[in-house]
Amino acid sequence: MALVQTRMATSRLTSTWRRHLGTSLRCFSSVRDSMSLLSTQMVDHVAVVRFLSPEGQFSWGTRVWEHRLNPSLIKQVHDALDQAEECGAQALLLAGEGRFFCNGMDLQYISANMSQAMAIQTDAEKLMRRVLTLGMPTVAALNGHTAAGGAMLALAFDKRLMTAESQSVFFIPGIDLGLAYSTGMTELMKAKMPLAMWNDVLCMGKRFQSEELLKHGVVEARPPAADLFDSAMELATSLKSKGKDEKTRDTLHKIKGNLYKDAAATLGFQVQDMGYATATFSATGRPQK
């Protein structure tokens, strides 16, 4: 259904509103495609990065609060990591807000820019590799759904805490969408999940809640939603000694480089066409019937 663009009499700084003139008359706000998608601050030598969750969609339709991986988000996360490294942060904490931690690759963006599909996947994998081998302890506070490429990004961190809220799920649905994982993604997932989970996660797209992830050791703890950020902050702070100075950070980077050798060697290299052009997903990433 075509959206007819109308402007409000007053327009907000970041959003303009568009109204669907079909049956629903629902309003969708769209955001400036170049807006800030995250905030960064340094708290007691811990670099704290938060995915922001304003209402609204990018011009290609994706809702911002899903924190999906597109060129904007990837670039901004790199910038945040650059900042953290330059400021000598001793640990990194990444958290989202709202219903989603990260809902995967921005499939609507890729569909609208198919010629860039391989480049975007390569950039996403390189980001995963950077986080995977980052020269400081890394903590991800999984505030909500952690799916597909978002789950892989979460796995790249040293530690994960996930809200005990029962609706939040962790899953990787390539099988349902006709997308086979690249070598790098496969190695990353194998490196960060126990063997007993491999088949269920990769081949069957099984959905997990925090309780089962805790049992498997994929998350460190599952605090109530209200305590998630503070617990994650406490954990990150407790690990600062493992990123305490330049020498330690360099050591950690090299230890991770060896420990995750196979994933590091393949993420972002010789990225195979995952099959976006022939994949069977709808614009919102659900399997097509």
Partner 1 sequence: MWISTIQRNGGFVQGQWQERFGCGCYGNDIARLMSSRCGASAWRRCLGCQRSFSSVRDDMSLLSTQIVDNVAVVRFLSPEGQFSWGTRVWEHRINPSLIKQVNQALDEAENAGVQALLVTGEGKFFCNGMDLQYISAHVSQSTEIQTDAENLMRRILTLGMPTVAAVNGHMTAAGAMLGLSFDKRLMPADSKSLFFIPGIDIGLVYSPGMTELMKAKMPLPMWTDVLCMGKRYKSEDLLKHGVVEATPPPSDLFDAAMELAKSLKSKGKDQKTRETMRGIKGNLYKDAAAHLGSAVQDMGFATGTFSATGRPKA
Residue from 2, 195, 247, 270 touching partner 1 (CB under 8 A): that is: 195
Q: Out of 196, 226, 247, 258, which residue is the one contacting partner 1 (CB under 8 A)?
A: 196
Q: CB–CB of 57/29 below 8 Å?
A: yes
Using rule CB under 8 A, residue 49 touches partner 1: no
| Structural contact between residues 178 and 192, judged by C-beta atoms closer than 8 angstroms | no
171 phi, psi to nearest 5 deg: -165, 165
Based on the shown chain and the rule CB under 8 A, indicate whether residue 174 belongs to the binding site for partner 1: yes
Pick from 8, 204, 255, 283 the residue near partner 1 by CB under 8 A.
204
User: Which residue of 181, 208, 260, 276 would you call a contact of partner 1, by CB under 8 A?
Assistant: 181
- Helix 117-132 and helix 183-192: axis angle, to 10°? 30
Spatial distance between the Cα atoms of 263 and 23, rounded to a whole number of angstroms: 49
- Supply the minimum distance, in Å, between the C-beta of residue 176 and partner 1: 7
Q: Check binding of 178 to partner 1 (CB under 8 A).
A: yes
Q: How many helices (H) and strands (E) does the chain have?
A: 11, 10
List the alpha helices (DSSP H) in the chain. 71-86, 107-112, 117-132, 149-155, 174-177, 183-192, 195-198, 210-216, 228-238, 246-259, 261-266
Name the segment binding partner 1 (CB under 8 A); options: 39-47, 104-112, 133-141, 169-177: 169-177
Residue 182 in contact with partner 1, rule: CB under 8 A: yes
Q: Quick check: 174 and 105 in contact, CB under 8 A?
A: no
d(CA 55, CA 67): 12
Buried/exposed 153-169: b ≥16 CB within 10 Å, e otherwise = bbbbbbbbbbbbeeebb
Distance in Å, CB of 194 to partner 1, minimum? 7
Return the range that interacts with partner 1 (CB under 8 A); candidates 63-71, 105-113, 173-181, 221-229: 173-181
Q: x/- site string to partner 1, residues 56 to 95, per CB under 8 A?
A: ----------------------------------------
Q: How many CB atoms lie within 10 A of CB 210?
A: 24
Interacting residue with partner 1 among 35, 205, 207, 227 (CB under 8 A): 205
**Member of 85, 97, 165, 176 binding partner 1 (CB under 8 A):** 176
Of 23 and 278, nearer to partner 1 (C-beta) is 278
The residues in 247-276 that bind partner 1, with binding defined as CB under 8 A, are 275
Residue 206 CB, nearest distance to partner 1 (Å)? Answer: 10
Q: Does 118 contact partner 1 by CB under 8 A? A: no
Q: What is the token pair recorded at 112?
A: 């609208």
Q: Measured from the CB atom, is 104 or 174 closer to partner 1? A: 174
Nearer to partner 1, 203 or 283 (CB): 203
Q: Which residues contact 138 (CB under 8 A, 6 or more apart)?
A: 91, 92, 93, 94, 131, 156, 157, 158, 159
- The residues binding partner 1 (CB under 8 A) are 174-176, 178-183, 186, 190, 194-196, 198-199, 202-205, 275, 278, 280
